[in-house]
Amino acid sequence: MHQADSPDRVRLVFKYQPLGPDPAPMRDLLADFERQHPNVEIATEQLPNDADSALQYFLTALEAGADFDVLVVDIIWVPMFARAGWIADLSQPFPAELIRHDFLAGPAEAAIVEGRVFAVPWYTDVGLLYYRTDLVPRAPRTYAELKQFAAEARRKDPSVQGYLWQGRQYEGLVCNAFEAIWGFGGTIETEQLRIDTPAARAGLGYLRSLLRGGVSPSSVGSAAEEDSRRVFQSGKGVFMRNWPYAWNEAQAEDSPIRGKVGFAPLPTAKGEPGHGALGGWQLAVNARSPPARRAAATKLVAHLTSVQANLSLATAYGRRPARRAAYEDVYSLSSFDKALYPILQNARSRPLTPYYNLISDTLQGEFSAALVGIREPEQALRRAQQQINRLTAAAQ
């Protein structure tokens, strides 16, 4: 930090989503930066939590040339924003090898587009299986075991639901569906985007059988994360698929299931630990941010993604750190995060392509159609594949 050639006061605008009800820890983190860089003033502007609203705002504002400095991006938006030229190439201050070395593999790869770094991972997320330790003997390893355990628990207590997950027509359904597809050994290559595969058919078929067979209640068809969590937390569910945030809620003071919950990797068809969908958000610098502010913006990104910041955000807001070093700090890390680490390392990303939003919209419609019974999984996937081929060809 060169005090001698500091310019006049620089005002950075940071657009992000509120991380939790208490704004104080985030404010302290930013005040910390301002103290270390006395010529920088940070103004924060909050965006709604809802990813759709945030995306809509960014599309409008960035295309119109708004020049705020630092912004949060969803992990799957990076290729899209990079291709659009909205976020700056950060390969100079954050070389690709550095990103790959310092951060978990999943978030790191998501931040690198064609060898160039366009974002820095901020916090990460992975899909987990939660289970009631008092209702089932252990975490199920296969889908068959899951159905079996759920049936046994429901026989003992018919008022509980078996397996709660997210089947509403939105991005969460795509996460759930991909996890099922991966559970049957399928992969979706970014280059080819082949969705009409035997593994996909099996995965969708499995999800449908959960609803048909009564393992999952009908409300799953319109459930999002909070809907599943609320039912599970009231004690009325045996299994739940959700993100790590549900753990803190489950273990809260007044939770009816406090101390009775365990978590594990998702089950698969054959029994190996399942890949959870990779979630989380990254920090990026607006490409329109003028050079005078660019340096300060980059430093802010570095500050917010440092190990200390990772750990303090984990404690304050329950956000999973994206840095490997945070997981090696055995003193500061919670036991939950320690146990979560192997599952995080095994998380798999949805396809990283600038076309992701285009294809996700198609997938949401077709997956929902298969779940609800309008179409058979084979037909739904065939239609999805046709539309994806058409969209990606047309967009080129």
Partner 1 sequence: MKRAANGLAAIAVALLCLAPFAWQIFSSFQTELGRPSLRNYVAAFQGRPFGQIILNSLVVAAATAACCIAIGASAAFAIAKLELKGRSALLGASLACSMFPPIATVSPLFLLLRRLGLQDELAGLILPYTTFALPLTIWVLTSFFREIPDELYSAARVDGCTPFRAFRLIFLPLAGPGIATTAIMVFIFAWNEFIYALTFISSPEKRTIPVAISLFATGQTEPWHEIFAASTIVSIPLLIVTILFQRRIVSGLTAGAVKG
Partner 2 sequence: MSPSAGERCQAYALVAPTVAVLLSVAAYPVLATAWLSLHRLIIVFHDRRFVGLANYASLFGDGRFWSSLGNTCYFAGAAVPAELVLGLLLALLLDSAIRGRSALRAVVLLPWAAPTVISAKIWMYLFNPQSGPIGATVLHGVDWLGTPTYAMWAAILLDIWKTTPFVALLLLAGLQTIPPSVPEAAQVDGASAWQMLWRIKLPLIRRSIVVALLFRTLDAFRVFDSIYVLTQGGPANTTETLSIYAYKTLMRAGDFGYGSTLAVATFLCIISISLLYLVALRSRLAERA
HEC profile of the chain: CCCCCCCCCEEEEEEECCCCCCCHHHHHHHHHHHHHCCCEEEEEEECCCCHHHHHHHHHHHHHCCCCCCEEEEECCCHHHHHHHCCECCCCCCCCHHHHHHHECHHHHHHHEECCEECCEEEEEEECEEEEECCCCCCCCCEHHHHHHHHHHHHHHCCCCEEEECCCCCCHHHHHHHHHHHHHCCCCCCCCCCCCCCHHHHHHHHHHHHHHHCCCCCHHHHHCCHHHHHHHHHHHHEEEEEECCHHHHHHCCCCCCCCCCEEEECCCECCCCCCCCEEEEEEEEEECCCCHHHHHHHHHHHHHHCCHHHHHHHHHHHCCEECEHHHHHCCCCCCHHHHHHHHHHHCCECCCCCCCHHHHHHHHHHHHHHHHHCCCCHHHHHHHHHHHHHHHHHHCC
Of 150, 369, 381, 388, which lies in the binding site for partner 2, with binding defined by CB under 8 A? 369
User: Which of the ranges 54-62, 100-108, 192-200, 375-383 carries the binding residues for partner 1, by CB under 8 A?
Assistant: 54-62
Whose Cβ is closer to partner 2: residue 119's or residue 311's? 119
**64 sits near partner 1 (criterion: CB under 8 A):** yes
| Unique residue bearing structure tokens 């750190």 | 321
Please state the closest distance from residue 393 (CB atom) to partner 1, in A: 26
Among 34, 89, 226, 376, binds partner 1 (CB under 8 A): 226
| 23 contact choice in partner 2, partner 1, none (CB below 5 to 8 Å, kind-dependent) | partner 1
**Residue nearer to partner 2 on the CB measure, 341 or 367:** 367
Q: Is 60 in the site for partner 1 (CB under 8 A)?
A: yes
Residue from the set 7, 23, 198, 271 that interacts with partner 1 by CB under 8 A: 23
Q: Per rule CB under 8 A, is residue 361 in the interface with partner 1?
A: no
- Indicate the residue among 63 and 328 with the shorter CB distance to partner 1: 63
CB 75 within 8 A of CB 281: yes
Q: Answer yes or no whether residue 170 interacts with partner 1 by CB under 8 A.
A: no
Binding partner selected for residue 305 from partner 1, partner 2, none, CB under the kind-specific 5 to 8 Å limit: none
* In the complex, least distance from residue 219 CB atom to partner 2, rounded to whole angstroms: 5
Q: How far from 64 is each of 16, 67, 149, 237, CA to CA, in Å?
A: 19, 9, 54, 47
Residue 22 contact among partner 2, partner 1, none, beta carbon within 5 to 8 Å by kind = partner 1
Matching residue, tokens 């709604």? 48
46 is a site residue for partner 1 (CB under 8 A): yes
By the rule CB under 8 A, 175 interacts with partner 2: no
Binding mask 229-248 for partner 2 (x = CB under 8 A): --x----x------------
Query: Which residues make beta-bridge pairs with 281?
Result: 74, 123
Report 32-61 residues binding partner 2 (CB under 8 A).
52, 55-56, 59-60
Contact stretch for partner 2 (CB under 8 A) within 13-21, 67-75, 80-88, 241-249: 80-88
- Considering beta carbons, is residue 262 or 365 the nearer one to partner 2? 365
Binding of residue 282 to partner 2 (CB under 8 A): no
Residues making contact with partner 1 (CB under 8 A): 15, 17-23, 44-50, 53, 56-57, 60-61, 63-65, 68, 225-226, 229, 243, 245, 249, 252-254, 317-318
Residues making contact with partner 2 (CB under 8 A): 52, 55-56, 59-60, 63, 80, 83-85, 161, 167-170, 217-223, 231, 236, 354, 357-358, 360-361, 364-366, 368-369, 371-372, 374-375, 395
